[in-house]
Amino acid sequence: MTEPQLRIFINYRREDTWGEAEFLYERLANRFGSKNVFLDARSLQPGMKWLQEIMSQSASSAVFLSLIGPRWLPIMKERLQAISHPTEDYVLFEISYALRQGPEIWVIPVLVGDAVPFTGEGLPPVLQALAEIEAEQVRPKRSDEDIAHLIQILEEIASGQRSLPPEPIPEPDIREIDIVMPSGGDVASPPTVPPPDAAHLELILQHMVNEGNLVPFLGSRLTGKKADPLDGQRPLPNADELAARLAKRFGAKSIRPDLPVVAQYVYLTRGRPDLYKMMGQILTAEYDPGPVHQFLARFPRRLKKLHADPQYQLIVTTNFDTALEQAFKKENEPYDLAVYMASGADKGKFVHFPYDGFPEAIPIPNAYGKFPIGDYGELERTLIVKIHGAVDRSSGDYRWKENYVITEDHYIDYLSRSPIESLVPVQILDKLRDSHVLFLGYTVREWNLRVFLQRIWRGEPLGARSWAIEPEPDALEKEFWAHSNVDLYAAGLPEYVRRLEGRLDGLAQASA
């Protein structure tokens, strides 16, 4: 008999249906050929690469078998409900990818075991279409008959006797799913997150203007727009855009579009020089400081217009670019800089670049006291802290290059140092722990941020009431920030800082 032109992908959970997957692979390989059946334990290629490859085989039919046992859904929930550090679920990623291909691939759920419950209840939206597909079964006492029936269906697909399944209703991208939360076991409803009201804005300005105990914590999603050649502005690329550029440049389209993951792929497959050269080319381009950078740089001068006591911020950022520093220089506003060195002679240390002095490496973080921070946390001038390194540059005679905490291995090494006092200088650490924090440009899906926060606050909620601003927060964002003693507000960052500026200007006019 001529071997049917069929390629089969077996998706399964090791903790749930490992033995059954191996058994099914043997039976299918005997019928359709081992080269046409993918099982990760038997195949050398990465799963997602093989799955995408069978999509491109126009002469072949493609079938995706999703093996679902009694622990399939509980394991998925456990991984997604890990608030402090959700575990990546590649089984879920593979299924969601296959479902999004529509008629190009035939997805078949296979229930493994007796009376395995499988409905749409409890599934994240991205997998709802899976529950609408007629499932096959492989039962322990009838495995031979059940597998024979499954093979018959696969032969009909290969021969064209079965028409392609209808294209499923498009589901949201896997990065945008509403995560199942621990409260009730059901799919989390879209959260109701309020916009920042007048009371919130007044409270933020009170901490900034009157008390000087608010720390802005800046992520990569600050600009709120992409480059538009018509307006003459060049906003900085965020983490997702950096990942997309790297993936496109180095052919990593099958890799999950997360910056540490893509950077790790490039580092391992192309080498360190290629990764850092590309990062340098992207980040040394002429970008414009965004509204958040400008607001922070202009803040000290606005206080002078209010005839208020000077208040300066400790500003923490995970970004590599120099947009924030450019904004301060444009306003002629002095600042000190603290940069973590991921390479060079001072690798593993922070280096202090004082406004009125020379660079100084910090070999003993818990004994260094030269930052412009007083005994009670008051700052003499702004201090910018770059916790993940910075793009290639120099300050006086001090130069650095390839200074990025960017790959998964980099983050693991960076975040595994213990205790945290051996990494972050004590003055910065104390100021952070004793302040309110305003998180701008983050999503909690950035696991490296979550781990860093856990280490700073020793796994406890933040000690002082804090706030996070996000344009489109989801259920995971709401649950995580609430667990961390952080109030979440839904707003675009450009509009948010414009409202803060407007209130400051109103105070200045009232005091004139």
**Interstrand relation of 6-11 and 61-68 (parallel, antiparallel or unpaired):** parallel
Phi, psi for residue 227 in degrees, rounded to 5: -60, 135
- How many other CB atoms are found less than 10 A from the CB of residue 506? 10
Q: Which of 330, 328, 321 is nearest to 297 (CA)?
A: 328
How would residue 188 be classed by pLDDT, with cut points 50, 70 and 90?
very low
Considering only residues 128 and 381, tell me which one the structure prediction assigns the higher pLDDT: 381
Question: In this structure, is the dihedral angle defined by the CA atoms of residues 443, 444, 448 and 449, taken in order, positive or negative?
Answer: positive
Q: Which three-class secondary structure state does DSSP give residue 159? A: helix
Asked which of 249-263, 290-304, 456-470 is least confident by mean pLDDT, the reply is 249-263
Half-sphere exposure of 408 (CA within 13 A, CB side): 9
CA distance 433 to 361: 23
d(CA 151, CA 28): 7
Give the pLDDT of residue 288.
83
Phi–psi pair at 57, nearest 5 degrees: -85, 85
Rounded to 5°, the CA angle 340-344-350 comes to 20
Write down the pLDDT at residue 330. 92
* Confidence (pLDDT) at 163: 64
Q: Are strands 393-395 and 398-400 parallel, antiparallel or unpaired?
A: antiparallel
- Entry pTM: 0.63
Amino acid identity of residue 347, one-letter, is K
Lowest mean pLDDT among 4-13, 138-147, 347-356, 502-511: 502-511
Amino acid at 4: P
Selected residue with higher pLDDT from 460 and 302? 302
Of 337, 335, 347, 343, the C-alpha closest to 423 is 347
Least confident of 167-181, 348-362, 447-461, 490-504: 167-181
For residue 416, give Cα distances in angstroms to 237, 321, 452. 28, 25, 10
* Burial class (CB within 10 angstroms; exposed 0-12, middle 13-18, buried 19+) of 140: exposed
Contacts of 182 (CB under 8 A, 6+ apart): 81, 83
Amino acid 426: pLDDT: 95
Peptide bond into 170 cis (omega under 30): no
Which three-class secondary structure state does DSSP give residue 367? helix
Q: Does residue 366 have a pLDDT over 70?
A: yes
**What is the pLDDT confidence band of residue 90, given thresholds at 50, 70 and 90?**
confident
Taking the C-alpha atoms of residue 452 and residue 447, their distance in angstroms, rounded to an integer, is 9
Q: Distance between CA 76 and CA 191 in Å, rounded?
A: 21
Q: What is the pLDDT of residue 45?
A: 58
Question: What confidence score (pLDDT) does residue 460 get?
Answer: 80
Cis omega (within 30 of 0) on the bond before 419?
yes
Our measurement of the distance from residue 476's CA atom to the centroid of its chain's CA atoms, rounded to an integer in Å, reads 12
Round the average pLDDT of the chain to a whole number and report it.
81
pLDDT tens for each residue of 116-129:
878 777 777 667 78
Separation of alpha carbons 322 and 236, rounded Å: 10
The pLDDT assigned to 232 comes to: 47
Query: Are 216 and 440 a contacting pair, CB within 8 Å?
Result: yes
- More confident position, 471 or 467: 467
> Quick one: pLDDT at residue 178?
37
Q: Rounded to whole angstroms, how far apart are CA atoms 42 and 22?
A: 9
82, 40 Cβ separation under 8 angstroms: no
Q: 348: buried, middle or exposed (CB in 10 Å: 19+, 13-18, 0-12)?
A: middle
Q: Which range is least confidently modeled, 75-84, 175-184, 471-480?
A: 175-184
Q: Report the run of H or E that residue 314 belongs to, with start and end.
A: strand 314-317
Question: Which SS3 state, helix, strand or coil, does residue 27 take?
Answer: helix
For residues 368 and 335, is the Cβ–Cβ distance under 8 A? no
The 3-state DSSP composition of the chain as helix, strand, coil percent (nearest 5) reads: 40, 15, 45
- Cα-Cα-Cα-Cα dihedral of 354, 358, 364, 366, to 10°? -20
- Higher pLDDT: 228 or 105? It is 105
Stated as kind and residue range, the H or E segment containing 72 is: helix 72-80
Query: Over 80: is that where the pLDDT of 174 sits?
Result: no
Q: How far apart are the first and last CA of the chain?
A: 93
Q: Is the pLDDT of residue 168 over 70?
A: no
Average pLDDT over residues 42-64: 58
Query: What would the mean pLDDT of 416-428 be, rounded to a whole number?
Result: 83
Give Dmax over CA atoms of the chain in angstroms.
Answer: 93
Domains and CATH numbers, the chain: 6-176 (3.40.50.10140), 198-219+287-511 (3.40.50.1220), 237-286 (no CATH)
